[in-house]
Structures are given as C-alpha cells and as structure tokens.
C-alpha cells in the first residue's frame, strides 16, 4: 500500500537542513536529506543559538542534548570601545528574562541534529544536479545517478545553492569587504577570562568578539578586518596569526593578551545577498542561506534557518498528496521573507555600527545606538515562529 503522507526531500545536510528535518519529522512528515559530501561535516567554530530558535529546538526534544554541548552565555557580556571603555551590556535573555542563549561549536550543533534523526533519513554522497516538477510531484537527479521523487523539495544547500536558479534568476553573492579571522582557545590558556561572557570590542573599521563554547571549556574568537582583496568564502583557509595580532595592536590588553596566545587561526570572507524577490516555485522552497544569506553581525544566520524549518513543518503538518502544495509554500514565503529580509539588512547595519562606518563615525551616536539595542534584540528573541505560523494558518491571512 502506497503511503499518502507527504514526502519532503531536503537538499543540504547542514544546520538548516537537519533542523528542518527534525521539525518535519516531529510533526509526522516523511523526510529524506541529501548531502553532497561523503560525510556530514560542519567546519568553522562558534555559532550562537538564541532564544528565538532555542525554544523551537527544545519543543521537539533537543533541549537536553544542546545543554550538554553548549555554553551558556550570560554574566559579563558587554560592548566596548577598542580601548576597553564599556559601551553597554549585551542582552542575553528574552524580555521575560529567559536566558536561552548558547555559544556552540558548529560541529557539535550539527551532531546533535544528526543524532536525533533515524539513520536511514540522511543520504550522503548525493550531489544534486537536476530538478523538475509537475502537478504530480517533483524529481531530483543526483550526480551518482540516483533519481528521487518527492512531494515537496526544500533547498537548504547554502549561499551557492544549485536549486536557487529554479526559483529566481541567478545572482552572485555580494562581498562585504571584510575578512574574518577565527579560532578557539582552551580556557586554560586564558584563566582570567569571564567564562559566560560574550564580549565585543569596536574600533575604526574593524571589531573583535569572544564567546564561550563547549560548556565553557573553549573560547571562540573572531576578528573582523577590512581587506581590499576579495577573500574566498572559506571556513578552513589558514590565516596568518601575526597579521591578525597586528590588526588589533594597541587595543584593550584583554584582546592583545588573548591574541598573544593564538598559535593558528583560520579566515573566511564575508558575503551576503540583497533580499531575494521570491523564495518558492511550485513544490520547491528555499531555506536558510539559499534564501537569505546574511552577515554574522547579529548572529542570526543559523537561527533564522531554524525558524524557516519550523514554519515549513507547521504549515505542512497533516497534509496529504492532494494538498495544494504551491499555495502552502507561498504562505511560507509570505510569512518568512519579510522577517528574514529585515534581519539581513539589520545585520549589515549592525556591522557598520561595530566598525564605526558611514553614519556611525560619530562614536557618541554609535555608542548610544549600541547601548539602546536591547529593545531590538528583545524583539528578535521574543519572536515565536511556531505561534506566528499557527496564527498565519487561515487562508485570509496571506498578505496581498
């Protein structure tokens, strides 16, 4: 007997794809994930999980696993000028006071998401090379010769998505003009460091941040430095630790002392896109960086991808093969695209604040905006995508 339940195929086995798979599976849908690499891997170091996404992950049963591998971010979190002058507190709670904020190693987060899925759901070594669809369903073709049929396809294949061209005209990612040096240090190397603190130092054209990982056993650092040469979007390119240290010479001794302990580091180029005009086409929906790549200056990239997956799961729950999939996915776009586009643009603006660029060269004005950013942060963290999607579920609620 052929099941009448929807089959959702996800292309991309990163954080966004696996978070969506968990949300969909939790709500009773059939899910398959296709990842082009031969094994699941998440390079890079730290990522923030904020209240707006953590509450969704906790609801589907991942709270304990995340608590084991994450590092609570809380006391001592502050913004500074480059010399160490305090600018203001960094908000680490939602408006109810819930401290649902972790610093996490990207690999740890990916592992939690993968471990929560049945082993037969994830298919590695599947590079997508083709997509077609009709009224009966969608078809994915892979480089290894496999053909997969699905009722819904979710493109969670990153900023260079191969499926995005089936939704909107191809466009190149935009280089932000910055290189980010990153790495981790064991806390034993910096024993006086504030164990729960997220700290950001802001200077002329650059900034530096630190936050904890892995239950506070590691410190993640990132230095954002301007460069005239376009830098590849690589998470694994080896950086020059002397160049990194020289970029922040003369800054707060806490920064220079930490950098003196660095032996190796990595760098990557920062890219995003202007908000896309469209996220869906028929049975195909974009998710995460395939839909809304954003700069890291609000720490919301992974969090917005998790919101995407939750919204799709709520909208698709309980539907069968006779459902008007195109209409459902258009509802997903109508709900998600305005919020994600706003976060994309705010991430750009926040980067300019951190780096004292454009209208933020007046440091007094910049500092006021940074110190008063708690209201905006609360609006981000209070947002409950599950509840918003349920409230958005009646056909009359779709914007014109």
Q: Is residue 347 predicted with pLDDT exceeding 60?
A: yes
Q: What is the mean pLDDT of residues 165-169?
A: 96
Distance from C-alpha of 220 to C-alpha of 204, rounded to nearest angstrom: 22
> What is the chain's mean pLDDT, rounded?
92
Active-site residue set: 182
Q: Residue 53 has which token pair?
A: 């996404």
Half-sphere exposure of 199 (CA within 13 A, CB side): 23
User: What does the alpha-carbon distance between residue 353 and residue 205 come to, in Å, rounded to a whole number?
Assistant: 9
CA–CA separation, 58 and 18 (whole Å) = 15
Residue/partner pairs of 112-116 with CB below 8 Å, 24 or more apart: 112/62, 112/65, 112/66, 112/69, 113/15, 113/18, 113/19, 113/21, 113/22, 113/62, 114/13, 114/18, 114/40, 115/65, 116/22, 116/60, 116/61, 116/62, 116/65
What pLDDT score was predicted for residue 235?
45
What is the layout of strands, in order, in the sheet containing 147-150? Answer: 128-134, 137-142, 147-150
**pTM attached to this predicted model:** 0.94
Say whether pLDDT at 195 is over 80: yes
Is the distance from CB of 66 to CB of 49 less than 8 angstroms?
A: yes
**CATH architecture label of 7-72+103-172+274-356+384-393:** 3-Layer(bba) Sandwich (3.50)
pLDDT greater than 60 at residue 238? no
* Distances in whole angstroms, Cα of residue 232 to Cα of each of 235, 236, 265, 277: 9, 10, 16, 26
Query: Is the pLDDT reported for residue 1 higher than 50?
Result: no
Give, in order, the Cα–Cα distances in Å from 154 to each of 6, 256, 326, 344, 355. Answer: 13, 44, 13, 20, 36
Per the model's pLDDT, the better-predicted residue between 267 and 218 turns out to be 218
Residue 123 has pLDDT above 80, yes or no: yes
Residue 2: the pLDDT is: 43
Q: Environment class of residue 192 by beta-carbon count within 10 Å: exposed (0-12), middle (13-18) or buried (19+)? A: exposed
**Confidence class for position 41, pLDDT limits 50, 70, 90:** confident
Residue 27, helix vs strand vs coil:
coil
pLDDT of residue 398: 46
Report the alpha-carbon angle 71-307-335, nearest 5: 155
């Amino acid at each position: 007997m052929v099941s009448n339940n929807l089959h959702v195929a996800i292309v991309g086995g990163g954080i966004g794809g696996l978070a969506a798979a968990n949300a969909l599976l939790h709500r009773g849908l059939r899910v398959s994930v296709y990842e082009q690499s031969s094994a699941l891997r998440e390079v890079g170091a730290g990522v923030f999980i904020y209240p707006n996404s953590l509450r969704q992950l906790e609801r589907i049963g991942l709270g304990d696993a995340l608590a084991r591998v994450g590092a609570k971010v809380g006391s001592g979190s502050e913004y500074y000028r480059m010399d160490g002058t305090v600018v203001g507190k960094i908000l680490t709670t939602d408006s109810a006071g819930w401290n649902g904020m972790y610093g996490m190693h990207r690999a740890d987060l990916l592992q939690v998401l993968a471990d929560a899925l049945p082993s037969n759901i994830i298919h590695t070594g599947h590079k997508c090379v083709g997509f077609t669809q009709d009224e009966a369903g969608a078809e994915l073709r892979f480089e290894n010769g496999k053909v997969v049929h699905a009722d819904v396809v979710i493109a969670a294949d990153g900023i260079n998505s191969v499926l995005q061209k089936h939704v909107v005209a191809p466009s190149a990612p935009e280089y932000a003009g910055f290189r980010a040096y990153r790495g981790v240090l064991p806390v034993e190397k910096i024993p006086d460091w504030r164990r729960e603190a997220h700290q950001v130092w802001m200077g002329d054209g650059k900034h530096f941040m630190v936050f904890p990982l892995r239950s506070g056993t590691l410190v993640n650092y990132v230095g954002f430095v301007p460069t005239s040469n376009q830098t590849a979007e690589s998470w694994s390119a080896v950086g020059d630790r002397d160049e990194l240290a020289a970029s922040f010479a003369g800054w707060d001794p806490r920064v220079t002392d930490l950098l003196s302990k660095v032996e190796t580091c990595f760098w990557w180029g920062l890219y995003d896109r202007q908000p896309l005009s469209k996220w869906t086409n028929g049975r195909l929906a974009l998710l995460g960086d395939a839909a809304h790549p954003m700069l890291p200056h609000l720490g919301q990239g992974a969090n917005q991808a998790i919101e995407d997956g939750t919204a799709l799961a709520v909208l698709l729950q309980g539907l069968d093969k006779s459902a008007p999939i195109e209409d459902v996915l258009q509802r997903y776009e109508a709900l998600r695209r305005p919020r994600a586009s706003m976060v994309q643009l705010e991430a750009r603006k926040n980067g300019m604040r951190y780096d004292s660029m454009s209208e933020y060269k007046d440091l007094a004005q910049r500092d006021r905006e940074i110190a008063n950013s708690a209201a905006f942060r609360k609006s981000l963290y209070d947002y409950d995508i599950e509840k918003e999607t349920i409230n958005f579920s009646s056909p009359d609620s779709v914007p014109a």
